[in-house]
């Protein structure tokens, strides 16, 4: 095939919206992005603004008509959207009608920029809208039109709380539009799920909907994996062969992704796995024995740990000592030297690379994974290849049965299966290249309704973590004294609890929001923008939170808070991706409100130790005060470490995609 004909094929595949976008590499990747931009070049910000102004011009007439007349308009426009192609004036009319319905049902009237965003979503774009600009309303206006056109729509977001909240708060809009809505969350009974999936619009998290769809493929015998060979088998959920019960999800028609960078990019690192417990658990004692062997080895002489890649290497002395230990054990598995060495290495990885309060917590005697991007518990997930059992053994807990993988799929592959895909987030621009390359979806940055006046204070850099934490406490005390509410962002549960202890020692009343207190999330967020009221004896709110408060939350400062300068956001360290920092700092200064943000870092932060260790050490050996002067060099050093982290995660996601490609090529039906 000639180069010209190959690129013609690329263009034709991009032009079709009913097939999964191909994955390109090398020069093809660049050409694929260029062709995608060529195909979608008409949807510009200036075009969106002109269309939004025409939609806004329809508002006076719609405000004046009665409820029955508006319902009649809905019936007419729904009929138009049921046809194959809509004319531009019909799309404008549809958006204007849904906007008016939202105004009547919720009291929220979309601004011009929200109409721009809704129109971009309708045309399959990934939009960036700043925090506080009303993505929920924007998405609900677009969702009605997409559901009219595509029959069914899945709206996906980062957690069950947001899925339930948005499904309930938008229900009145959808009902007026003749659409049914429901939410799929962790607690939704399996018997109730098929009926919910029959509704026009279904809210849920990626892990819930992807898992249900993958279970359908197992039931229908459509999934081949490296673990069940090349047989086409029909299974019930417990793994036994049985009659085909039919699919739970009636098909994938369209997806609208809230917090799109988190769902489409961050979640792409780890594939979703459907597994079952093995019939018998004869490995529990083996994992405990491996943990005991690992605890007797010395780091350095016996083994080396690569924290960045989460790997362990046994050195000659360590291997000899480990062999002496396992040679005295009776279990047959220790006779296989390679498997024995693997068990000890896994125990070392669990011991050093997986830390309670960061990667996991212990809840009711069980190891529960913590999502490192959102700070939330993932109670329905477990690490594979014996790692979960190794962590349980390290903690001295009951070791659960090892799990057998039935099927696996990356979120990247799943979302590329939808014929229609759109999304919205506050930080899409930072992931433009990956969105365009993987999903063939252009990114559009929507302007803010009012200018952002948030104050970005200079980064503060400290030699040690201890000096940094003490400085953060001083900054919180200072803001609290002048009546300004403060949101302190931490990367882990352990860090949030450390911050809480330090504030308690200084006598600062505060609240903690992390995965251990997720049930109190709505209450804590509603109070986080409270300013001081001296007459009532109320001090300004201080909230310490993990990334849970960084997405999908809307902290509204009250009048005393605005008078004191608005919400102050303090980041206790930089995250592995700039997008996450931007999300958290975006809690302040919403809708033109005053606010401020500041980042505190130290040379002992995990980001620097893992992704720029030598540069950090060179800076640390120089004598001087506890706080370093913030210069272009120090700021560049931390940003360089962050870029290294982003590149590493991007390579991980590319690796998952390559694995998907390999399975599709060599395991037909996978």
Can you tell me the distance from the alpha carbon of 89 to that of 55, in angstroms, rounded to the nearest whole number? 9
Number of other CB atoms surrounding residue 604 within 10 Å: 17
The answer as to whether 609 is a domain residue is: yes
The pair of three-digit structure tokens given for residue 468, joined into one six-digit string: 């940094």
224 and 92 co-located in one domain: yes
Instruction: Please report the pLDDT score of residue 223 as a whole number.
Output: 62
431 and 363 co-located in one domain: no
**CATH number for the domain harbouring residue 307:** 3.90.1440.10
Number of other CB atoms surrounding residue 275 within 10 Å: 17
Question: Which segments in the chain show pLDDT lower than 50?
Answer: 1-19, 225-243, 279-280
382 and 353 co-located in one domain: yes
In 211-341, the DSSP E strands lie at 254-258, 272-277, 303-306, 311-314
The answer as to whether 662 is a domain residue is: no
| Number of compact structural domains in the chain | 3
515 and 597 co-located in one domain: yes
Instruction: Please report the pLDDT score of residue 236 as a whole number.
Output: 42
366 and 472 co-located in one domain: no
329 and 424 co-located in one domain: no
**CATH number for the domain harbouring residue 519:** 3.40.50.300
The answer as to whether 657 is a domain residue is: no
Instruction: Please report the pLDDT score of residue 412 as a whole number.
Output: 85
Instruction: Please report the pLDDT score of residue 482 as a whole number.
Output: 93
248 and 352 co-located in one domain: no
Model pTM?
A: 0.81
The answer as to whether 3 is a domain residue is: no
Instruction: Please report the pLDDT score of residue 561 as a whole number.
Output: 94
- The helix or strand, by DSSP H or E, that contains position 445, with its residue range, turns out to be strand 443-445
Instruction: Please report the pLDDT score of residue 227 as a whole number.
Output: 37
92 and 241 co-located in one domain: yes
Can you tell me the distance from the alpha carbon of 548 to that of 539, in angstroms, rounded to the nearest whole number? 24
Instruction: Please report the pLDDT score of residue 272 as a whole number.
Output: 76
Contact 531, 558 (CB under 8 A): yes
Handedness of CA 314, 318, 322, 323 (dihedral sign): positive
The answer as to whether 46 is a domain residue is: yes
Alpha-carbon separation of residue 329 from 290, 295, 320 (angstroms): 11, 16, 15
Instruction: Please report the pLDDT score of residue 400 as a whole number.
Output: 85
The pair of three-digit structure tokens given for residue 55, joined into one six-digit string: 């939609």
187 and 94 co-located in one domain: yes
Contact 392, 287 (CB under 8 A): yes
The answer as to whether 551 is a domain residue is: yes
In 122-180, the DSSP E strands lie at 126-128, 153-156
Contact 125, 436 (CB under 8 A): no
94 and 219 co-located in one domain: yes
Contact 492, 358 (CB under 8 A): yes
Instruction: Please report the pLDDT score of residue 245 as a whole number.
Output: 60
Contact 370, 378 (CB under 8 A): yes
Using the CB atoms, write b or e for 120-157: b if 16+ within 10 Å. bbbbbbbbbbbbbbbbbbbbbbbbbbbbbbbebbbbbb
Instruction: Please report the pLDDT score of residue 127 as a whole number.
Output: 95
The answer as to whether 630 is a domain residue is: yes
Can you tell me the distance from the alpha carbon of 432 to that of 446, in angstroms, rounded to the nearest whole number? 14
Instruction: Please report the pLDDT score of residue 533 as a whole number.
Output: 85
What is the domain range of residue 166? 33-277+411-445
Contact 616, 637 (CB under 8 A): yes
186 and 99 co-located in one domain: yes
Alpha-carbon separation of residue 430 from 195, 260, 572, 583, 643 (angstroms): 38, 12, 22, 11, 11
217 and 248 co-located in one domain: yes
What is the strand order of the sheet 366-370 is part of?
Answer: 360-363, 366-370, 377-378
The answer as to whether 25 is a domain residue is: no
**Of 104, 122, 125, whose CA–CA distance to 39 is shortest?**
125
Q: What is the separation of C-alpha 292 from the centre of its chain, rounded to a whole number of angstroms?
A: 36
Tell me how many degrees the CA angle 544-569-167 measures, rounded to the nearest 5: 75
The pair of three-digit structure tokens given for residue 261, joined into one six-digit string: 């960078």
């Amino acid at each position: 095939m000639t180069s010209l004909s190959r690129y013609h094929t690329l263009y034709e595949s991009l032009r079709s919206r009913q097939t999964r976008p191909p994955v390109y590499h090398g020069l093809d990747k660049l050409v694929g992005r260029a062709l995608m931009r060529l195909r979608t070049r008409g949807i510009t910000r200036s075009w969106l603004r002109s269309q939004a102004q025409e939609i806004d011009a329809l508002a006076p007439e719609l405000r004046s008509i009665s409820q029955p007349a508006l319902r009649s308009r809905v019936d007419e426009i729904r009929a138009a959207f049921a046809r194959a192609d809509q004319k531009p004036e019909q799309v404008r009319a549809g958006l204007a009608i849904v906007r008016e319905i939202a105004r009547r049902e919720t009291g929220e009237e979309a601004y011009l920029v929200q109409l721009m965003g809704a129109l971009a979503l309708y045309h399959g774009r990934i939009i960036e809208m700043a925090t506080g600009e009303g993505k929920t309303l924007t998405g609900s206006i677009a969702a009605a039109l997409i559901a009219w056109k595509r029959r069914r729509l899945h709206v996906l977001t980062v957690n069950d709380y947001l899925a339930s909240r948005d499904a309930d708060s938008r229900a009145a809009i959808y009902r007026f539009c003749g659409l049914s809505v429901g939410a799929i969350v962790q607690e939704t009974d399996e018997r109730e799920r098929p009926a919910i999936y029959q509704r026009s619009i279904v809210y849920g998290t990626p892990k819930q909907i992807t898992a249900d769809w993958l279970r359908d493929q197992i039931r229908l015998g459509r999934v081949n994996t490296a673990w069940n060979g090349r047989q086409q088998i029909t299974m019930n959920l417990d793994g036994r062969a049985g009659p085909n019960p039919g699919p739970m999800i009636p098909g994938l028609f369209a997806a609208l992704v809230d917090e799109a960078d988190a769902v489409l990019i961050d979640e792409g690192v780890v594939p979703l796995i459907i597994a079952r417990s093995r019939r018998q658990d004869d490995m529990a004692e083996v994992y405990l024995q491996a943990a005991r062997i690992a605890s007797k080895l010395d780091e350095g002489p016996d083994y080396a740990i690569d924290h960045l890649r989460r790997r362990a290497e046994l050195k000659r002395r360590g291997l000899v000592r480990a062999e002496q230990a396992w040679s005295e054990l009776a279990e047959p598995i220790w006779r296989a030297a390679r498997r024995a060495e693997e068990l000890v290495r896994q125990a070392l990885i669990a011991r050093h690379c997986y830390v309670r309060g960061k990667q996991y917590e212990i809840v009711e005697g069980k190891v529960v994974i913590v999502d490192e991007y959102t700070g939330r518990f993932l109670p329905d997930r477990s690490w594979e290849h014996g790692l979960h059992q190794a962590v349980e053994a390290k903690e001295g807990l009951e070791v659960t049965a090892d799990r057998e993988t039935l099927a696996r799929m990356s979120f990247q592959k799943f979302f590329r299966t939808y014929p229609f895909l759109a999304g919205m987030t506050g930080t899409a621009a930072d992931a433009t290249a990956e969105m365009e390359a993987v999903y063939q979806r252009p990114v559009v940055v929507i302007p803010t309704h009012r200018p952002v006046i948030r104050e970005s204070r200079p980064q503060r850099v400290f030699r040690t973590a201890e000096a940094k934490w003490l400085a953060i406490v001083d900054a919180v005390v200072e803001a609290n004294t002048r009546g300004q509410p403060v949101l302190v962002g931490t990367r882990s549960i352990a860090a949030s609890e450390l911050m809480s202890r330090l504030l308690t020692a200084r006598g600062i009343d505060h609240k903690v929001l992390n995965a251990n207190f997720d049930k109190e999330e709505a209450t804590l967020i509603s109070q986080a923008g409270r300013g001081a009221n001296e007459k009532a004896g109320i001090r300004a709110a201080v909230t310490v939170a993990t990334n849970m408060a960084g997405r999908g939350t809307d902290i509204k400062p009250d009048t005393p808070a605005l008078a004191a300068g608005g919400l102050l956001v303090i980041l206790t360290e930089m995250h592995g991706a700039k997008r996450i920092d931007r999300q958290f700092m975006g809690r302040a200064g919403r809708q033109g409100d005053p606010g401020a943000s500041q980042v505190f870092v130290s040379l002992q932060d995990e980001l620097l130790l893992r992704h720029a260790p030598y540069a950090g050490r060179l800076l640390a050996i120089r004598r001087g005060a506890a706080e370093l002067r913030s210069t272009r060099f120090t700021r560049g050093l931390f940003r360089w470490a962050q870029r290294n982290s982003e590149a590493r995660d991007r390579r991980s996601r590319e690796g998952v995609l390559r694995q998907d490609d390999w399975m599709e090529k060599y395991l037909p039906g996978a």
